[in-house]
Structure 1
Amino acid sequence: MMTLESIYYIGQTLAVLAILVSLLFLTFQTMQNTRAVRASSLQEVLDGCRDRNFLPGFTTPDVLNIFARGL
């Protein structure tokens, strides 16, 4: 038969496990968010470079095709 003390210890163990699982989940979510923010930032930088450097003077299909093959 289980005593109140053993039920208490089981409850505490389950609470600690739940906290650890939630911390692992938060770590995973933070890593995914960091990757998404970095990718978005890089895309913004590349879009800015493209808009500043290539759109005004290099709008002919031949030049853009050469540039695309270079990437």
Structure 2
Amino acid sequence: MSKCSECGLLEDKGDAGYKCFKYGKEIKQADTFLSTDCLYFIQPQYEEGVPIPKQQLLLIKEADLKRKKLQGPV
């Protein structure tokens, strides 16, 4: 199970809480530790010690989902 608190698409809004980059949904701090079945969950990734931007992580995940969708019985 994935948790919002571990997702690379979670934006920290400081005192305002958190926001999902994909869905634009405001998330309370307590809710970030709940398990979800989010299709767009992706671990934060780093390139040369620098975090990959959320826009790029979303593109990576969408491409991965498209690739999996095109696979089927042969």
Higher normalized strand content (fraction of residues): 2
Higher normalized helix content (fraction of residues): 1
Query: Does 1 or 2 have the higher relative contact order (CA < 8 Å, sep 6+)?
Result: 2
TM-score, structure 1 as length reference: 0.30
TM-score, structure 2 as length reference: 0.29
